[in-house]
A and B are shown apart, each in its own frame.
Chain A
Amino acid sequence: MKAFGFDYKRGTSIIHILDPRSKFIYTILFTALTVYFVNPLVLLLVFLSSVPMVIVAGVGKSWLRSIRGSLFFIAFIFIFNLIGIFWTTGSVADALIMSISMSLRFMALISIFSVFFLTTPPEDLTQSMVQLKIPYDYALTFNMAMRFVPTLSREAQIIMDAQRSRGLELEKGNIFQRVRNYIPILIPLIISSFRRAELVADAMESRAFGAAKRRTSLYVLTMGRRDFFFILFSAAAFLAFLSLKILLGIQ
């Protein structure tokens, strides 16, 4: 999971203290750009535009880990496109450019989302969902899902160790057998997750979860001047990119 940039660590940079909603607007706008353009140079530019934010936020290490973690997928996308497009068009140059674009698009997406998740505390995300009028139950479910990812992966590791010490060989056989080898891991994991869910529910109820329709929040997110400028800047950059298409006809 760490590979996908959910590895939030507390920070005090300007990017960290921005309102999640303004960062979300940036994420949406730039995601739209990656989908809209196919020109590899533009996509590279979109990708590079997220790098200064990574540097300002000081999350370079985790960001690199996200990118490195997705290299396998990028390679997959590259090769798949290369073969596919060459097959249909017969042109090596076309195929090469297109697969580079696709890989860059994916990298840009990973980078943009990493910036968002690496600098946004899960609770602030929940809080911003609540302030966007998403029911608290759904927001909390999302928050909890994120919270228990490391717990579950630790548990999966323990179960794997336990089953291996009883002689289970995970890496044996062809691909179908290998998938089947994981059944003795999955079943205990699912059962223990259900039990855990019950215990967490008990703990929440014991702290008056569901007592009031509208709960208070200790912290309320407010958009400040810096959020205003950040959104303005994101929107300007977005329009600048769009003008490439309108003025220069770049696809």
Chain B
Amino acid sequence: MPIVEIRSLSYTYPGSTKPTLTNVNLSVEEGEFILLTGPSGCGKTTLCRCLNGLIPNSYGGEFNGQVIVDGLVTTEHPVYEIAQHVGLVFQNPENELFCTSVEREVAFGPENLALPREEVRKRVEESLAMVGISHLRDKSPEELSGGEQQKVAIAALLAMKPKILVLDEPTANLDPASAQSVLNTLLKLNEESGVTMILVEHRLEMVAHMAHRCAILNEGRLVLVGKPEDVLYSDEAEAIGIGIPKVVQVTKALGINKMTGKCPLTSWSLADLLRVWKN
């Protein structure tokens, strides 16, 4: 049974006449890593908010269809309940972190759940360790780099023990090195702890090879879903105007994918192909 199921979801914000999402269907299996991308304003952020019930529970508006996460129909459960199944990481860590120490930040969620103090303590330790930031526990979020802040935000959500993490452009405000570090953390969480990932990202170069499937949203519709190589090498993807990775462009321009039948997603795999071809 899929862990996330979106069934013919359409949504219009209150006061808006045009729907932001139109007939979106997607099902995600437990442990999958889904990369969601698309041009700005295509509805990615809105879709993220639908996944943990902020839409429609806190936003209102016209909501049709159904979103089921970990067996919960989002319209039938309050956000705080869904939050224990789906963690949502936002774009700008400045608005996500509001405590003066990393430890307290991570404790905020479990505290809200009114768990016993020992359990809160245990979850804080575990979450910090999972993200690899135990050494930052006493720092103030303001002293940290953007990448570290985003890791704190991720740890703060892991403390709620969600099976699914939804990340809305978590690297948008980060430099390439920090972005890579955050993305590696996500990959590790997915591979080692089996957390289902739904990652909204523009930096396709960095993430395409991590994902099991890639989905492209355009003007509120899910236009392409499939293996990352199939989606990114398709002509439709090129037409939509997402940042097709350079590797893909070069491979296509040289016709290597047609010649070898292989679709590399990283510079390294392309280099390997070329090396074989040269010999």
Measured CB to CB, the residues of A under 8 A from B are 8, 10, 121-123, 143-144, 147-148, 150-151, 196, 199-220
27 pairs, CB–CB < 8 Å, chain A vs chain B: A10-B100, A10-B138, A121-B100, A122-B100, A199-B95, A202-B88, A202-B90, A203-B90, A205-B54, A205-B83, A206-B54, A206-B88, A207-B156, A207-B157, A208-B79, A208-B80, A208-B84, A210-B112, A211-B113, A212-B114, A213-B114, A216-B110, A216-B117, A218-B107, A218-B117, A218-B120, A218-B121
Q: Please give me the residue from chain B that is nearest to A140 by CB atom.
A: B98
Q: Are A207 and B58 in contact (CB under 8 A)?
A: no
**Chain A residues with CB below 8 A from B107, complex form:** 218
How many residues does chain B have at the interface if contact means C-beta atoms less than 8 Å apart?
A: 42
Residues of A contacting B140 in the complex (Cβ-Cβ under 8 angstroms): 10
Q: Which residues of A contact B142 (CB under 8 A)?
A: 150
B212 within 8 A of A: no
**Is there an interface contact between A216 and B120, defined as CB atoms closer than 8 Å?**
yes
Q: Are B95 and A208 in contact (CB under 8 A)?
A: no
Distance from B225 Cβ to chain A, minimum over Cβ atoms (Å): 25
A10-B140, A202-B54 are contacts. A215–B80 as well, Cβ < 8 Å?
no
Q: Which of A8, A150, A199, A218 has the most CB of B within 10 A?
A: A218
Contact B109 A203 (CB under 8 A): no
Q: Report, nearest first, the 9 A-B pairs whose CB atoms are least far apart.
A: A212-B114, A211-B80, A207-B109, A208-B80, A218-B107, A199-B95, A208-B112, A203-B96, A206-B88
Check if B221 is an interface residue, CB within 8 A of chain A: no
Whole-angstrom distance between the Cβ of B175 and the nearest chain A Cβ? 19
Q: Interface 1/0s, chain B 77-99, versus A by CB < 8 A?
A: 00111011001101010111011
Complex Cα distance, B274 from A106, in Å, reads: 77
A10 to B102 Cα, complex, angstroms:
13
Please tell me if B205 contacts chain A, counting CB pairs below 8 Å: no
